[in-house]
Amino acid sequence: MASLKDVKVKISGVKKTSQITKAMNMVAAAKLRGAQMKMERFRPYAEKYNAAMGNLSTGMDAAQFPLMEVREVKSVELLVVTSDRGLCGSFNSNILKQTERLMRQLEGEGKKVSLVCVGKKAAGYFKRSGKVRAIYTDIMGNFQMFNARAIAQDVAGNFLSGGADEVHIMYGRFQSVAVQRPAQQQFLPVKSVEGGAAAASADYIYEPSTTEIMDVMLPLYLNVMVYHAMLEVSASEHAARMSAMDNATSACKDIINSLTLVYNKARQAGITGELMDIVGGAEALKG
């Protein structure tokens, strides 16, 4: 059985760890409020932008716009968005695992895969794969639209130059404080919407022409998609960290209770041993 001093030191160490995890939980909760608010405010804008793009692109000839050009897919680029920091449970690893599954599927089809990593977790995980084309780190803690614009321009430039025939975004979608799931979305080429949306397009008169509007909106659409993915990851990261730190604090309490029981047993055994020595000594004196 461990000595009383050893057990006491362990209890003290776990208590300090519990204080740290509780503080991290509170910090994550405070940051989550701001990140979730930004994400929820931007979601309707992104959805309306998607709807507008769908209406404008209905019935259009994709060959008119280089960003909508559909080519034979020989190479695919994956834009992987994760956090810069860890200690958020399985949030980042779920995104990375889904990315790996998609990579294996694409390579199994004979396609070449390249990666653009946003966030240290993605960059660190894939850096030895030899497939990373570009890395963007130390921005997820405090990013703005210009960061998303730089990433979107880089990826779009590679697509236009023929470096990739198709681009997908891999990120974590915020569903609730308790649930964040990995998500995948085609980034390039931008798909034109057909079918049900075609009738809706007749209800609008565009000034200037739809072609001129699309020339302006297409690049902006890419910025919106990247920024939206980054906002989703930011909110998901803080929610996942809050849950992970809450679980860690609860685990610390369980360990403290277990060690306290061990400490009490060791202390009781020590007292019993001392009493036996006293009784034995007294009996020896009588004899």
Please identify every residue annotated as catalytic: 88
Q: What is the DSSP letter of 287?
A: -
Distances (CA, A) of 196 to 19, 90, 176, 202, 203: 56, 39, 31, 12, 13
Strands (E), the chain: 75-81, 112-118, 132-136, 166-174, 180-188
Q: Is the dihedral of CA 42, 45, 47, 53 positive or negative?
A: negative
Burial 261-278 (b: 16+ CB within 10 A, else e): ebbeebeeeeeeeeeeee
DSSP 60: -
Secondary structure (DSSP) of 80-142: EE--S---STTHHHHHHHHHHHHHHHHHHTT-EEEEEEESHHHHHHHTTTT-EEEEE-S-TTS
Residue 2 three-state SS: coil
φ, ψ (nearest 5 deg) of residue 88 = -130, 40
Name the amino acid, one letter, at 204.
Y
